[in-house]
């Protein structure tokens, strides 16, 4: 029997266009933050439970939207060129979608439970968030270290860029703002320069001004200043 060795960091193949990197950084950070919030939450505080439940619902909405963009724009190319990986990605998405429904139900239960059951309800949500995060990280790892390099090798950087552009074009402004709000703080300086530099070069000036204002609201002053210096913004 042939045993497939797990992919390691040393096996990572660089790509010219990475369809996953930036949004996955934002998603990871939000998954960690929501799980941490659930672990620290005072179960006896109604406002805290309501805030956590709202954040879980927002996270689920972002994950669902992300999966829809992948299914619409990326999955057809994976199916055409990487059929075995396409089957796994489709299965992962279906399984993860079902778990997101459970997350929302558990989040709502923390708000609705009687005082005697609130502590258990919050802890149950915390454990499920941790377990869900682990499963989601594994899914992201496959997309980033296995699917993306193989896909770009099969279709070429120009076709990968066309997919990226189609994804961006299909995201409404309000959704884009929400995505950037979790992405930018999670990215390093090189990532931010590449992303915002591209927007500055290709988007209308008023659109970039809005994005730049958003960056200023979600980044620390030192990070925003370093980004401005690299972009040549006074």
**pLDDT value of residue 195:** 95
**pLDDT value of residue 1:** 40
Q: Over the range 7-20, which residues count as b (16 or more CB within 10 Å of their CB) and which as e?
A: eeeeeeeebebbbb
Specify the length of the chain in residues: 234
Neighbours of 128 (CB within 10 A): 19
- Each residue's pLDDT tens digit, 13-53: 899 999 999 999 999 999 999 999 999 999 999 999 999 99
Domain of residue 114, CATH code = 1.20.120.520
> Where is 92: in which H helix or E strand?
helix 83-112
- 162 and 210 co-located in one domain: no
Say how many domains are in the chain. 2
Q: Answer with the one of 172, 200, 216 that is the final residue of a domain.
A: 172
Q: Does residue 177 fall inside a structural domain?
A: no
From residue 66, alpha-carbon distances to 38, 63, 131, 142, 209 in Å are: 23, 5, 20, 16, 25
From residue 38, alpha-carbon distances to 56, 111, 118, 228 in Å are: 10, 13, 12, 35
Q: Does residue 86 fall inside a structural domain?
A: yes
- 65 and 154 co-located in one domain: yes
- Each residue's pLDDT tens digit, 187-231: 999 999 999 999 999 889 999 999 999 999 999 999 999 999 999
């Amino acid at each position: 029997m042939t045993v497939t060795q797990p992919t390691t960091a040393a096996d990572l193949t660089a790509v010219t266009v990475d369809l996953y990197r930036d949004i996955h950084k934002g998603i990871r950070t939000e998954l960690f933050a929501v799980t941490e919030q659930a672990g620290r939450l005072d179960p006896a505080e109604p406002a805290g439970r309501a805030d956590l439940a709202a954040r879980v619902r927002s996270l689920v909405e972002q994950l669902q939207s992300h999966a829809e963009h992948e299914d619409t724009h990326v999955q057809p190319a994976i199916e055409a060129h990487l059929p075995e990986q396409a089957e796994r990605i489709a299965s992962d998405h279906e399984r993860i979608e079902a778990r997101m429904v459970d997350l929302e139900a558990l989040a709502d239960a923390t708000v609705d439970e009687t005082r005697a059951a609130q502590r258990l309800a919050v802890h149950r949500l915390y454990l499920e968030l941790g377990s869900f995060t682990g499963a989601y990280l594994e899914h992201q790892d496959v997309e980033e270290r296995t699917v993306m390099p193989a896909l770009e090798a099969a279709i070429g950087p120009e076709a990968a860029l066309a997919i990226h552009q189609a994804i961006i074009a299909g995201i409404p402004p309000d959704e884009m703002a929400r995505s950037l709000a979790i992405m930018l703080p999670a990215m390093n300086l090189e990532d931010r320069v590449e992303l915002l530099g591209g927007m500055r070069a290709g988007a209308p000036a008023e659109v970039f001004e809005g994005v730049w204002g958003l960056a200023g609201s979600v980044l620390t002053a030192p990070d925003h200043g370093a980004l401005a210096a690299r972009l040549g913004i006074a």
